[in-house]
Chains A and B, each alone.
Chain A
Amino acid sequence: MDAQKPMFPSAFEVETPAGAEGWKDLYPYYTHFQPARREEDDATFWFCNSQHWPTPFRPFDTIMLDFAIKGLGQYNTRHLVVPPANGVDYRILNGYVYFSPVAVAPELIEARVPQFMERAGHYFQNWGELYANWKEKVLAMIGELDAIEFTALPDVEDIAVVTGGKGLDSTNQLFDQYDKAIELCYKIWQYHFEFLNLGYAAYLDFFGFVKEQFPTIPDQAIAKMVQGVDSELFRPDDEIKKLAKLAVELGCADALKTGTVDEALAAVAKAPGGDKWLAQWEEAKDPWFNFTSGNGFYSTDKYWIDHLDIPMAYLRDYIERVEDGDEIMRPTAKLLAERDRITAEYREMMDADAQEVFDGKLGLARVVFPYVEDHNFYIEHWALGVFWRKMRQLSKLLSDQGFWENDEDMFFLNRNEIRDVLWDYSSSWAIGVRKRGTELWPAEIERRRGIHKALSSVRPLPALNNPPEVITEPFTIMLWGITSDAVERWVAADDTSGELKGMAAAPGEVEGVARVLSSPDQLSELQKGEILVTPVTAPSWAPVFGKISAAVTDIGGMMSHAAIVCREYGLPAVTGTGNASSRIETGMRLRVNGNTGTVTVLDEA
Chain B
Amino acid sequence: MNDLFTLDFSEIGSADHARVGGKCASLGEMTQAGVAVPPGFAVTTEAFSAMLDHHGLRDEIDRALDGVDPEDLDAVDRAAQAIRIRIRSHKLPPEVETAIREAYAALGDDMPVAVRSSATAEDLPDASFAGQQDTYLWVRGADDVVTHVRDCWASLYTTRAVAYREKNNIAHAGVLMSVGVQKMVNARAAGVAMTLDPGTGDRTRIVIEASWGLGEMVVSGVVTPDNFVVEKVLEEILDRKIADKHVELVGDAELGEAVEREVEAARRTACCLSDAEILAVARLAKRLEKQNKCPQDVEWAIDADLPDGENLLALQSRPETIWSQKKAEKKPASYMTGMMGIVNTLNNPISSKG
Instruction: Mark A residues whose CB is within 8 Å of B.
Output: 82-85, 109, 113, 116-117, 120-121, 124, 201-202, 204-205, 207-209, 211-212, 214-221, 341-342, 345-346, 349, 351, 353-354, 357, 360-361, 470-474, 477-478, 481, 483-486, 489, 501-504, 507-509, 557-558, 576, 595-597
Contacts and interface: CB of A to CB of B under 8 A. Distances in A.
B346 interface: yes
A201 B351 contact: no
A152 B342 CA distance: 53
Interface in B170-213: 202-205
B28 to A, nearest CB: 25
Given A219-B352, A502-B354, A508-B236, 4 more contacts: A346-B233, A477-B352, A483-B353, A489-B354
Interface in B216-235: 231-234
9 contacts: A83-B347, A204-B345, A204-B346, A216-B202, A221-B231, A342-B234, A349-B203, A483-B354, A557-B352
Given A113-B343, A357-B337, A485 B354 contact: yes
A113 B342 CA distance: 11
B341 interface: yes
B333 interface: yes
B239 A596 contact: yes
A351 B238 CA distance: 25
Nearest to B354: A503
B350 interface: yes
* 6 closest A-B pairs by CB: A483-B351, A205-B345, A474-B349, A503-B354, A357-B335, A507-B236
A216 B332 CA distance: 20
B349 A477 contact: yes
A392 to B, nearest CB: 39
Contacts of B237: 509, 595
Contacts of A484: 351
Contacts of B347: 83-84, 109
Contacts of A597: 354
A345 B345 contact: no
Contacts of A507: 231, 234, 236
A478 B337 contact: no
A371 to B, nearest CB: 15
A216 B204 contact: yes
Given A361-B341, A508-B236, A84 B354 contact: no
Contacts of B108: none
Contacts of A486: 354
Contacts of A595: 231, 236-238
Contacts of B338: 360
B233 A342 contact: yes
Given A204-B349, A208-B349, A472-B351, A117 B343 contact: yes
A481 B349 CA distance: 12
B348 interface: yes
Interface string B73-113: 00000000000000000000000000000000000000000
Interface of B: 202-205, 231-234, 236-239, 332-333, 335, 337-339, 341-354
Contact of A361 (B233, B337, B354): B337
Interface centre among B237, B238, B339 (most CB of A within 10 A): B339
A209 B353 CA distance: 15
Nearest to B330: A351
Contact of B339 (A117, A212, A481): A117
A336 to B, nearest CB: 16
Contacts of A489: 354
Nearest to A76: B346
Contact of A85 (B203, B346, B350): B346
Nearest to A217: B204
Given A116-B343, A346-B233, A486-B354, A472 B348 contact: yes
Nearest to B275: A509
Interface centre among A84, A219, A349, A502 (most CB of B within 10 A): A349
A121 B342 CA distance: 10
Given A221-B234, A357-B335, A597-B354, A346 B204 contact: yes
B240 to A, nearest CB: 10
Interface centre among A205, A472, A483, A597 (most CB of B within 10 A): A205
Contacts of B332: 351, 353
Nearest to A225: B233
A267 to B, nearest CB: 46
Contacts of B232: 345
Contacts of B350: 208, 211-212
Contacts of B335: 209, 353-354, 357
B345 A201 contact: yes
A481 to B, nearest CB: 7
A501 B354 CA distance: 9
B292 to A, nearest CB: 13
A354 B335 CA distance: 8
A221 B353 contact: no
A345 B233 contact: yes
Given A117-B339, A354-B333, A207 B352 contact: yes
A214 B337 contact: no
Contacts of A345: 232-233
B343 A504 contact: no
A374 B321 CA distance: 47
Nearest to A504: B354
B132 to A, nearest CB: 33
B352 A483 contact: yes
A341 B232 CA distance: 12
Nearest to A220: B234
Interface centre among B205, B233, B238, B348 (most CB of A within 10 A): B233
B342 A201 contact: yes
B333 to A, nearest CB: 7
A205 B351 contact: no
A478 B349 CA distance: 9
Contacts of A212: 350
A120 B340 CA distance: 11
Contacts of B203: 214, 349
A221 B352 CA distance: 13
A82 B353 contact: no
Nearest to B345: A205
Nearest to B347: A84
A502 B354 CA distance: 6
